[in-house]
């Protein structure tokens, strides 16, 4: 059975801190891993990762995939209160385009 | 924002009544999905569609049926609503090989 596990489940930090969110997975015929940010409404896309060791970066956010160890991390540097959200990780397998999500990490950034 | 509209946005219904949620897209994407989101469970796939009249079950499909008679519309039906189906329901679309885009969600309460 495909599985996606995110850790920690929740995290409280202060503005300016750096955080690392983890996503490990077990999936047959892995295709891609995606990260989403969810504030009050719909999840919004952050990154898609398909190859090991290639960092994706957008501003203060970055992510990398390790296909050998079956995990990905999402880093946020110099956190701001606007980074407070649930961060979701999802994986898809070849041939189906079904996305299996983890339970998410709830991040709260205090001013 | 991707052209996805969910209706209704909020609904309160009684146990045992049928309920249909609608997802409408203007992007002509091939793949459409219904997820439910509950505290502690993240996003769980109910059903998805890979084309008109082509659908498949997700991980929590019991008690739900779907139909897709046109590319742009994906309907989710609860044949006889139960309190355990109280949740936030998200529709998503995907063209294949890319990220999924989410609708704004439907909050369903079964009393």
Q: Which residue segments constitute the domains of chain B, with CATH numbers given?
A: 4-110 (2.60.40.10)
CB neighbour list of residue B66: distance below 8 Å, 6 or more residues apart: B34, B46, B47, B49, B55, B74, B75, B76, B77
Omega cis (within 30) before A8: yes
| Residue pLDDT, tens place only, B67-94 | 999 999 999 999 999 999 999 999 999 9
DSSP secondary structure string for all residues of chain A: --EEEEE-SEEEEETT--EEEEEEEE-TTEEEEEEEEESSSS-EEEEEE-STTPPEEETTEEEEEETTTTEEEEEE-S--GGG-EEEEEEEEETTT--EEE---EEEEEE-
Residue B2 pLDDT > 70: no
- A111 interfacial to chain B (CB closer than 8 Å): no
What is the per-residue pLDDT for A56?
95
Residue indicated by tokens 């079964």: B110
Q: What is the pLDDT of residue A106?
A: 96
Among A80-84, B11-15, B40-44, the least confident range = B40-44
Question: Cβ separation of A103 and B90 shorter than 8 Å?
Answer: no
Tell whether the model's pLDDT for residue B29 goes beyond 90.
Answer: yes
With a cut of 90, say whether residue B5 has pLDDT above it.
yes
Question: Can you give the pLDDT at residue A28?
Answer: 87
**Strands (E) located in B30-100:** 31-38, 42-51, 54-57, 64-70, 73-78, 87-94
> Which single residue is written with the structure tokens 């609608």?
B22
Residue B2: strand pairing partners: none
pLDDT at B1: 55
d(CA B47, CA B28) in angstroms, rounded, equals 19
pLDDT at B31: 94
Range of the domain at A106: 3-110
Spatial distance between the Cα atoms of B38 and B54, rounded to a whole number of angstroms: 27
Number of domains in chain A: 1
Mean per-residue pLDDT over chain B, rounded:
94
- CATH at A94: 2.60.40.10
Judged by CB atoms closer than 8 Å, whether chains meet at A41 and B104 is answered as yes
| Stretch (H or E) spanning B101 | strand B101-102
B48, closest residue in chain A (CA to CA): A98
Q: What is the mean pLDDT of residues B37-62?
A: 93
Instruction: Quote the CA–CA distance of B75 and B66 in Å, as a whole number.
Output: 5
* Partner-chain residue, chosen from B58, B59, B96, that has the shortest CB–CB distance to A97: B96
Q: Which residues of A touch B92 (CB under 8 A)?
A: 99
- Give the up-direction half-sphere exposure of residue B27: CA atoms within 13 A in the CB hemisphere: 20
Is the confidence at residue B9, as pLDDT, over 70? yes
State the nearest Cα–Cα gap between A47 and chain B, in angstroms. Answer: 8
Distance (Å) from the alpha carbon of A34 to chain B's nearest alpha carbon: 7
Cα separation, B103 vs A17, in Å, equals 32
Burial of residue B63 (CB within 10 Å: 0-12, 13-18, 19+) is middle
Q: Are A35 and A92 in contact (CB under 8 A)?
A: no
Give the H or E element holding residue B95: none
pLDDT tens readout for residues A44-63: 999 999 988 899 999 999 99
């Amino acid at each position: 059975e495909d599985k996606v596990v995110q850790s920690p489940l929740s995290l409280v930090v202060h503005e300016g801190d750096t955080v690392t969110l983890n996503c490990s997975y077990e999936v047959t015929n892995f295709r891609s891993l995606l990260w989403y940010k969810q504030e009050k409404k719909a999840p919004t896309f952050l990154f898609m990762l398909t190859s090991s060791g290639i960092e994706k970066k957008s501003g203060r956010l970055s992510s990398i995939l390790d296909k050998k160890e079956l995990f990905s991390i999402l880093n946020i540097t110099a956190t701001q209160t606007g980074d407070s959200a649930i961060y979701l990780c999802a994986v898809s397998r070849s041939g189906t385009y079904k996305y299996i999500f983890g339970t998410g990490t709830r991040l709260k950034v205090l001013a | 924002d991707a052209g996805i509209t969910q209706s209704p946005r909020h609904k309160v219904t009684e146990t045992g009544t049928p309920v249909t949620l609608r997802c409408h897209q203007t992007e002509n994407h091939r793949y459409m999905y219904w997820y439910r989101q509950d505290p502690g469970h993240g996003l769980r796939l109910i059903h998805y569609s890979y084309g008109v009249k082509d659908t498949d079950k997700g991980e929590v499909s019991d008690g739900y049926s779907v139909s897709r008679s046109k590319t742009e519309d994906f309907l989710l039906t609860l044949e006889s609503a139960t309190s355990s189906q109280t949740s936030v329901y998200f529709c998503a679309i995907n063209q294949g090989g890319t990220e999924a885009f989410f609708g704004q969600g439907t909050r369903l309460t079964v009393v």
